[in-house]
Amino acid sequence: MKLRFLTFGLLAFLLAGLNACKKTDIATESTGLSQDIQNRIRDLGFNPDGGYGCEGGYIVEGDIFLSTQDLQEAHSDIHALIVAGIEQYRTTNLVTGLPRNIKVHISTTLPSAYVAALDLAIARYNAEGLLVTMTRTTNSNTANIKIKKAPNGASYLASAGFPSGGNPYNQVLVNSTYLGNNPGDAYLATILAHEMGHCIGFRHTDYMDRSYSCGGAFYNEGSAGVGAINIPGTPTGPDANSWMLACIGSGQDRPFNANDKTALNYLY
């Protein structure tokens, strides 16, 4: 596949996938997704290029899971959140029932150093005074989001999905084989905050031109018929440091910048 997300310097590792995701007869290297499936993905405002089928749905844009049900439902109320000259997108579903605390659990199968990084990621969200707050819990049974170790042999770096039924997506898979036991708190916090951003409904900031952070060919789907909501007061021009850019260099730290904070406060 040709997707590149959260790159390690010159190397590019896929950020895609969920546990049990695998190539299927409807989505292979040689045939790709059927035209009907591609059209449905585009109707939802996503890029089907490089997407593939997995158990229960499809992986698109490297780290985004769309269920079969998602593709069957009509999403007429999807909106796009534009921040600066680069578009920062949310999905049609956001976390509801605000104010609300989201409990996050990290598996003990991940190295202990990952706990400090998660605490830093949570602190970044909580510092914004949002109606959504986050708390790390040691009880996986009560957790809203569970951070787990990716399965052995996985070729992606991390993955997550989008909210459903007003609830955040319930898991983030992290590939500690690639990252190592102690990749650095700030770098790992950036990765976790990115995936948690997907869990509460954020798209990639450079969705309309993913080559901006990932390189490769320019891709612009237009509005995909879903419209856009402009955030007043945000500057024009590229937004090079957003925490939701599709790709990140190895070791890079991306705390929320001014436009990220505008986006977070606009939605939550």
**pTM of the full structure:** 0.76
Q: pLDDT by residue (tens digit) across 14-60?
A: 333 333 343 333 333 324 788 889 888 877 777 787 787 766 778 77
How many residues make up the chain in this entry? 268
Q: pLDDT by residue (tens digit) across 194-204?
A: 999 999 988 77
**Whole-angstrom distance, CA of residue 207 vs CA of residue 215:** 13
Q: Where are the domains of the chain?
A: 5-13+77-267
Q: pLDDT by residue (tens digit) across 103-150?
A: 999 999 999 999 999 999 999 999 999 999 999 999 999 999 999 998
Q: SS3 helix, strand, coil % of the chain, rounded to 5?
A: 25, 20, 55
Domain 5-13+77-267 top-level CATH class: alpha beta
Q: Which residues have a Cβ under 8 Å from the Cβ of 162 and sit 6 or more positions away?
A: 64, 65, 91, 93, 169, 198, 199, 201
Higher per-residue pLDDT: 154 or 50: 50
